[in-house]
Amino acid sequence: MMSRTNIIALIFLIIMGLYPLFADSAWLAIGTTFLVFSVVAFSQDIILGRAGAFHMGHAAFFGMGAYTTAILNVNFGWTILATWAPAVLIPVIVSFIVISPIIHLRGDYLLVATIGINIIFLQILENDLFGLTGGPNGIFGIDVLKVFGYEFFEQTHMYYMSFILLGITLFIMKNLDSSKFGRAMFYVNKDDVAAQSMGINIRYYKMYAFAIGAGIAGAAGSMFAVQYSAVSPEAFDVLQSIMFFTIVLVGGSASLPGVIIGTFVMFVLPEIFREFETARYLIFGLAMIIMMILRPRGIWPVKFGNIPSFLKKGKK
Amino acid sequence: MDIFLQQIVNGLTIGSLYALVALGYTMVYGVMKLINFAHGDLVALSAFAGLTIYTSIFSNGGTSIVAVITVFLFTAMIIAVVGVLLERFAYKPLRTAPRLSAVVSALGAGLVIQNAIMLIWGPNMKIFPSDLFPSTVYDINGVVITFTQFMILGLSSILMIALYLFINKTKMGTAVRAVAINQDAAQLMGINVNKIIMIIFIIGSALGAVAGLFIGIYYRGITFDMGWMYGLNAFVAAIIGGIGNIPGAMFGGLVLGLFNALISGYISSAWAETFTFTLLIVVLIFRPTGILGETVAEKV
Amino acid sequence: MSKYLLEIKNVSKFFAGLTAIDSLNLKVKKGQIYGIIGPNGAGKTTLFNCITGIYTPEKGEILWNGKDIKGVAPHKIAELGILRTFQTIRLFSEMSVAENIMSGRHIKSKQKWYNGIIHTPAYYKDEKYNWEKTGEYMELFGLSDYATTPTGDLSYGIQRKIEMARALAAEPKLLILDEPAAGLNENETQELAEIIRKIQAMETTVMMIEHNMDMVMNLCEYMTVINFGAWIYDGVAADVQNNPAVIEAYIGAEDED
């Protein structure tokens, strides 16, 4: 017996799996970016929706992954495959270094501090601090993935690579949610005083969320860099962070379908209405306000009660 | 030494502007626990509205005190109305919602104002006329102060002192403080919380409007998206001072203005934001609620 | 090994010049049900917050099996086996009853850091075991029917039970209850007393703050009375009830109310 959510998930995966058969190249690119952004949004949701840390600088971790792949490939001649591990690990390590001193900050203070981290990251890129980032123009000429002499250069290849990455991300999210670690994040989020009185180390679980979130965002960044074969600073500025933050809240914090819907609403819809050009962000802003008023917990809010079936006796 | 003193004057000028904007953030935050992300865009709107009022009413040139006062009063009134409408439509329906929903609404509102400015005035930079204030320059032992700087410092100080007196010495100011401490209790004591929130938005927006006009007069070039960066800097100032704390916002604004001017003067303006946010993070590491912020122990 | 499970030695706690606890002493033996009573604002909850690490007292020692635990972080205190409930219920209200109680199993769970990303056979064993334990505690408190219900939807009395079940699921050595009977009706209070006796039978020491004097006198083997943060009297129920200083403190307090 499948639950309603699982059926919907299956339908979603089938549609997304078959999508390249019907899409032209422009829409295939949008589809690919949609998948990559969903991955980033999920990683943002680990930090914001699960651990409840007001994090508004996630584009920095996304960008670190992208720039790691770009720099290692273009400047040092690494193959794309070889850059994957560092593209994940560097954001994780950086998150430990920059987030751990501020992890104790409450709510909005953390929010502004993480905006700050994003802005500092962006200035490092723009000012070409180590002579590696290519300044405001960024880096171009990034290679395609080559495995055993086979080159994955087509749009469709990019699409399915991103599709697999989304699959891996969903697998991790599911595992996280059904583990001590995912639950601990929720406890910290819902009531930190009660959580620590139950023996939960708040710092540890918030850092855990940041580390996993940064790692997944890094992987998505690497994918993004290869898709466009270029990286430049403005793709990772605070406005991008705000978008990921908003995706989670508009869709529904800690809700897997919610985040997918959020990404669709915040990224794909504006693409569909591209012809309205100038007025579209005005309408978009209005839509954000109206959406929050109508559905303050998101379009598809999370439902708790993720417990083994042998405990679900008499439902009341 | 002269360069240093000159940067101090410049820093205090920018700092006063930050402080005026920061007051808007801090008052809203103090009462509603909401980062009003649209506040910076109100500041930008003020600059554009002020420019239009000035050019359309006083197009035949010639500055008069009357003209300048009219522009300031009209613009402040318009922005105050926009601020009140903003609260009424974007924030009031979300008072009981999860806190972050209101943050998203604020971000949306910012987007609306910013893009409205772009649709009305166009995406290109607009230039403020240079004749609003006389171009008099005072030279005090090699330190130059322009008339505009003098006006910014003077008027900001007057407004801040007035606000301080209003909050601390009047009955309504006491009501504002009461609502900031505990909305429910204030309501039970017969304070009209809606009215207080409206007043907060009127004052905050009007102060932001004054800052927006000064930004136009002082820097001349204004763009539709400039509100974001001014807003962010002012918000950082409010946090450094201790958000929710009115003297804290003034203090934070001046500190950040001086800091910015010294960094630009001695190091590089390309790294200005990096230094600003490093300062913020360092302050927060040692004082998690800002320099003048109270450390509130959670009641268990 | 110390003779006492928990010893409070000359503990003082100040808030901005106010003395919340004033050189307090008390000793809790293993297996006891120990009462802390006193008028409102006497510093009882502050004492509990000091024991559980939420506050750090400025003076004195808090000895756990003879070792000073003053200033130890709250989560480490829980790991030592000191678990608590709160005066104002603090449940994870959007989450289900089972998930709330499962939080008590946190310190008992042996999952490794990578189990949040990938599951291993050891993980499955551990996860299953802890959910079964959660099931046992739900059974014990008669909560099984509400397993999937969000705790925020349940009545006050049931919420109190969930909070106790959650703390007990961590298999504490010392369970600290902050006004467990507050807001409960007569029947629920009766049921609560029985549960506390059961907890004692599980070899868990209990410390409680309670205003329901019938329940305190009936349950607690020993108690300390405090007022304005300071010791007034300690002894067994009969002695406490007849002590003039205690009566004085309570009558004095009634005027304030």
Q: What is the mean pLDDT of residues C113-120?
A: 96
What is the spatial distance between Cα B89 and Cα A282, in angstroms, rounded to a whole number? 15
> Which residues in chain B touch residue C15, judged by CB atoms under 8 angstroms apart?
297
Task: Give the residue, A166 or B66, on which the prediction is more confident.
Answer: A166
> Which residues in chain B touch residue A284, judged by CB atoms under 8 angstroms apart?
108, 111
Confidence of residue A152 (pLDDT cuts 50, 70, 90): confident
Whether residue A51 is predicted with pLDDT greater than 60 in this model: the reply is yes
Question: What pLDDT shows up at residue B143?
Answer: 86
> Which residues in chain B touch residue C54, judged by CB atoms under 8 angstroms apart?
300
Cβ under 8 Å to B: A residues 162-221? 193
Whether residue A20 is predicted with pLDDT greater than 60 in this model: the reply is yes
Question: What helix, strand, coil percent values describe chain C, rounded to 5?
Answer: 45, 25, 35
What phi and psi values does residue C54 have, to the nearest 5 degrees?
-70, -40
Angle ∠(B246,B250,B251) on CA atoms, nearest 5: 110
Whether residue A56 is predicted with pLDDT greater than 80 in this model: the reply is yes
Q: Which residue carries 């699959």 as its tokens?
A: A167
Q: What are the pLDDT digits (tens) for A66-92?
A: 999 999 999 999 999 999 999 999 999
Q: Using the beta-carbon criterion (under 8 Å), do C79 and A199 form an inter-chain contact?
A: yes
> Which residues in chain A touch residue B35, judged by CB atoms under 8 angstroms apart?
108, 111-112
| Residue A273 near residue A56, CB atoms below 8 Å | no
What is the spatial distance between Cα A56 and Cα A118, in angstroms, rounded to a whole number? 8
Question: What pLDDT shows up at residue C255?
Answer: 45
Domain ranges in chain B are: 2-286
| Residue A78 near residue A87, CB atoms below 8 Å | no
Of the options 1.10.357, 3.30.460, 1.10.3470, 3.40.50, the CATH number for the domain spanning B2-286: 1.10.3470
What is the spatial distance between Cα B293 and Cα B288, in angstroms, rounded to a whole number? 8
Question: What pLDDT shows up at residue B295?
Answer: 58
Question: What is the longest distance spanned by two Cα atoms in chain B?
Answer: 66
What is the SS3 assignment for C82? strand
Q: What is the pTM of this model?
A: 0.93
Angle ∠(A149,A155,A159) on CA atoms, nearest 5: 95
Q: Report CA Rg, chain B.
A: 19
- How far does the CA of residue A282 sit from the closest CA of chain B (Å)? 5
What is the spatial distance between Cα A307 and Cα A178, in angstroms, rounded to a whole number? 8
How many residues can be counted in chain C? 257
Structure tokens at A61: 């971790």
> Which residues in chain A touch residue B277, judged by CB atoms under 8 angstroms apart?
113, 115-117, 119-120
Q: Using the beta-carbon criterion (under 8 Å), do C117 and A198 form an inter-chain contact?
A: no
DSSP string, B139-200: EETTEEEEHHHHHHHHHHHHHHHHHHHHHHHSHHHHHHHHHHH-HHHHHHTT--HHHHHHHH
Q: Which residue carries 């910015």 as its tokens?
A: B260
Cβ under 8 Å to C: A residues 180-199? 180-184, 186-187, 190-191, 193-199
Chains touching chain B at 3 or more Cβ pairs under 8 angstroms?
A, C
What proportion of chain A, given as a percentage, has pLDDT over 90?
77
Question: What pLDDT shows up at residue C50?
Answer: 95
Of the options 3.40.50.1820, 1.10.8.60, 3.20.20.100, 3.40.50.300, the CATH number for the domain spanning C1-81+172-257: 3.40.50.300
Q: What are the pLDDT digits (tens) for C224-239?
A: 999 988 898 899 888 8
- How far does the CA of residue C21 sit from the closest CA of chain A (Å)? 21
What phi and psi values does residue C134 have, to the nearest 5 degrees?
-55, -45
Q: Using the beta-carbon criterion (under 8 Å), do C148 and A186 form an inter-chain contact?
A: no
Confidence of residue C194 (pLDDT cuts 50, 70, 90): very high
How large is the ipTM? 0.92
Judged by a CB distance cut-off of 8 A, whether residue B32 touches chain A is no
Q: Using the beta-carbon criterion (under 8 Å), do A242 and B107 form an inter-chain contact?
A: yes
What is the spatial distance between Cα A235 and Cα A284, in angstroms, rounded to a whole number? 19
Domain ranges in chain C are: 1-81+172-257, 95-170
Reported as type and span, the H/E element at residue A230 is: strand A230-231
* Shortest CA distance from C48: residue in chain B: B300
- B225 C-beta neighbours (distance < 10 Å), count: 15
Q: Using the beta-carbon criterion (under 8 Å), do B270 and A123 form an inter-chain contact?
A: yes
Whether residue C242 is predicted with pLDDT greater than 70 in this model: the reply is yes
- A309 C-beta neighbours (distance < 10 Å), count: 6
Judged by a CB distance cut-off of 8 A, whether residue B66 touches chain A is no
3 state SS for A176-220: HHCCHHHHHHHHHHHCHHHHHHCCCCHHHHHHHHHHHHHHHHHHH
Structure tokens at B260: 């910015």
Question: What pLDDT shows up at residue C257?
Answer: 39
Question: What pLDDT shows up at residue B103?
Answer: 94
pLDDT by residue for chain B (300 residues), tens only, comes to 678 888 999 999 999 999 999 999 999 999 999 999 999 999 999 999 999 998 888 766 556 788 889 899 999 999 999 999 999 999 999 998 998 999 999 999 999 999 999 999 999 999 998 888 888 888 888 888 999 999 999 999 999 999 999 999 999 999 999 999 888 899 999 999 999 999 999 999 999 999 999 999 999 999 999 999 899 999 999 999 998 888 999 999 999 999 999 998 888 888 999 999 999 999 999 998 889 876 555 555
Cβ under 8 Å to C: B residues 259-298? 297
Whether residue C256 is predicted with pLDDT greater than 50 in this model: the reply is no
- How far does the CA of residue A98 sit from the closest CA of chain C (Å)? 21
Q: Using the beta-carbon criterion (under 8 Å), do C99 and A307 form an inter-chain contact?
A: yes
* Shortest CA distance from C139: residue in chain A: A311
Q: What are the pLDDT digits (tens) for C122-172?
A: 999 999 999 999 999 999 999 999 999 999 999 999 999 999 999 999 999
Q: What is the mean pLDDT of chain A?
A: 92
Confidence of residue A314 (pLDDT cuts 50, 70, 90): low
> Which residues in chain B touch residue C86, judged by CB atoms under 8 angstroms apart?
300
- How far does the CA of residue C119 sit from the closest CA of chain B (Å)? 33
| Residue C204 near residue C175, CB atoms below 8 Å | yes
Q: What is the mean pLDDT of residues A187-204?
A: 96
Q: What is the mean pLDDT of chain C?
A: 91
Judged by a CB distance cut-off of 8 A, whether residue A285 touches chain B is yes
- A165 C-beta neighbours (distance < 10 Å), count: 19
Q: What is the mean pLDDT of residues A222-231?
A: 96
Question: What pLDDT shows up at residue C247?
Answer: 82
- How far does the CA of residue A152 sit from the closest CA of chain B (Å)? 39
Question: What pLDDT shows up at residue A311?
Answer: 87
Question: What pLDDT shows up at residue A298?
Answer: 94
